Structure 1
Amino acid sequence: MVEIKTPEQIAKMREAGLVVAEIHRATREAAVPGASTKDLDDVARKVLAEHGAKSNFLGYGGFPATICTSPNEVVVHGIPSPDVVLKDGDIISIDAGAIVDGWHGDAAFTAFVGSGHAPELTELSRVTEESMWAGIAAMRTGNRLVDISRAVETFIRRQPRPGGGKYGIIEDYGGHGIGTQMHMDPHLLNYVERRRGRGPKLVPGMCLAIEPMVSLGTPKTKTLSDDWTVLTLDDSWSSHWEHSVAITEQGPLVLTAPDCGRERLAAYGVTPAPDPLG
């Protein structure tokens, strides 16, 4: 069942989304050479405490931390640790969430640690992020779930990869519904799989986390013995971007973006719904 939210409930999700945006700002600033991924988790804990919000990651299925920290070849679900220390030239995907009055926000971004990154890494992150925005721009009333998947995949497939080859669109993980829980129906693939059909029609009140993950190599993954940390099967580096988005009568509302998505969606000729918090 797909949970449909009222405008008042979407406003609560916007509150949670703004807490997630603040976690992103603070952890991006803290992701410097010499910092451990546990340091980043501590930063996120502080932001949550300051806003009176709860982590929707901590304790989820036994997950032991507040955020997921996934450097380099780690795709998702990396566990923060004092033993994982960031180095100049690393990239790291940080996935964070928050709960406010029972309503969830969830978003991820890829950060560059230090300087001197190879062009293929900056392009990898750009392609992954922009594919997310292409998917968000497809979140229009009357479209179907597959239209989001198609927009994400089409953008990625059209991008030339520096040095040749193709980008790997991670197959085992994707986007999802969000609301009174962090992960809800429907599951959203980042590519079109014909046998799944077109999926549900997009209607106002539907909230989705748009969440592409892209690698420099394989679309296949493996999971470490901790049962959480997911790596690319060939150890190629990867990028992960995500925003929580509500469909409204006025258009998509990017709940976890400070400006509701206005700047990035303008390139697609899409005007987001006004901020329900003013």
Structure 2
Amino acid sequence: MGETITLLSKREIEKMRRAGRLAAQLLDHLAPMIQPGVSTLEINDEAERWTQAHNAVSAPLGYHGFPRSICTSINEVICHGIPNAKQILKEGDIINIDVTPILDGYHGDTSRTFFVGTPSDKAKQLVEVTEECLRRGIAAVKPGGKIGDIGAAIQEYAESYGFSVVRDFVGHGISNIFHTPPQVPHFGQRGKGKRLRPGMVFTIEPMINEGTYEAVILQDNWTAITKDGKLSAQFEHTIAVTETGVEILTLLD
């Protein structure tokens, strides 16, 4: 049986656009906090305060028991890092901040990897390549294309630098529900997978590792780290397939 992919109406996409804009504003608001000496819990608490002040709620908080409002994934953490008071940012770290406010019932899901102070050359390259992977993945989206086109574009670019693409976590459909079909792998073959149709809305969120793509889940049942302890970076946008191509919904004005 094929999974059912919901196509969103123009009205729903406008709601997604508003939620997406709020998510982008939240990341911009948090960016100045990303300094040595700041705890990830402080960043989380400010995200929660700001989200509530904008008449929105934090989708991650309580989602399948997740205890915080955002994900903070530092260095070897691939995704789903849990903010806590003892985790203090230090010079040279990289940190992915993943936010998903719900505004008027619809989800805005986006993430960026930030530098804490001055990164190492390897960290800088990994983060820049990961951001370009997201751009290339988005550029591969067009009506009539296939989901495999997205993963192929990302995988080819990441691997050309000797980096690897995480297999265990993928992009996903999103609307008034946090995670829906289709799944959007960040690796794959052109011309394979589900056909892209106008009205499909999903995230593209490549997680690119310095070393092996293999992941290990810690005992908290959330935090995913690289098996070899090397760095991981991620960028994420929520996008809509349009009649003519693609629209990024998680952008500032």
TM-score surpassing 0.5? yes
Match 1:138 to one of 135, 140, 144:
140
Report 1:69-88 matches (<5 A): 69-88=72-91
Partner Cα separation in structure 1 for residue 193 and residue 125 of structure 2: 31
1:237 matched residue in structure 2: 231
Match 1:251 to one of 242, 245, 253:
245
1:127-150 CA distances to partner (integer Å, 9 max, x unpaired)?
Answer: 111111101011111101111111
Give the deviation of 1:63 after TM superposition: 0.2
1:183 matched residue in structure 2: 179
Report 1:93-172 matches (<5 A): 93-115=96-118, 117-158=119-160, 160=161, 166-172=162-168
1:96-140 CA distances to partner (integer Å, 9 max, x unpaired)?
Answer: 10111211111111000012x211111100111111110101111
Report 1:18-97 matches (<5 A): 18-97=21-100
1:264 matched residue in structure 2: none
Amino acid at match of 2:210: L
Could you list the runs of 5+ residues in structure 2 that have no partner in the other structure? none
TM-score, normalised relative to structure 2: 0.95
Amino acid at match of 1:254: I
Partner Cα separation in structure 2 for residue 122 and residue 105 of structure 1: 27
Partner Cα separation in structure 2 for residue 51 and residue 10 of structure 1: 20
1:163 matched residue in structure 2: none
**Secondary structure of 1:185 counterpart:** strand
Partner Cα separation in structure 2 for residue 105 and residue 258 of structure 1: 12
Q: Runs ≥4 in structure 1, deviation > 2 angstroms?
A: none
Give the deviation of 1:221 after TM superposition: 0.5
Partner Cα separation in structure 1 for residue 46 and residue 244 of structure 2: 35
Identity of aligned pairs, percent?
A: 40
Partner Cα separation in structure 2 for residue 99 and residue 36 of structure 1: 24
Do structure 1's residue 222 and structure 2's residue 216 form an aligned pair? yes
2:192 matched residue in structure 1: 198
**Secondary structure of 1:75 counterpart:** strand
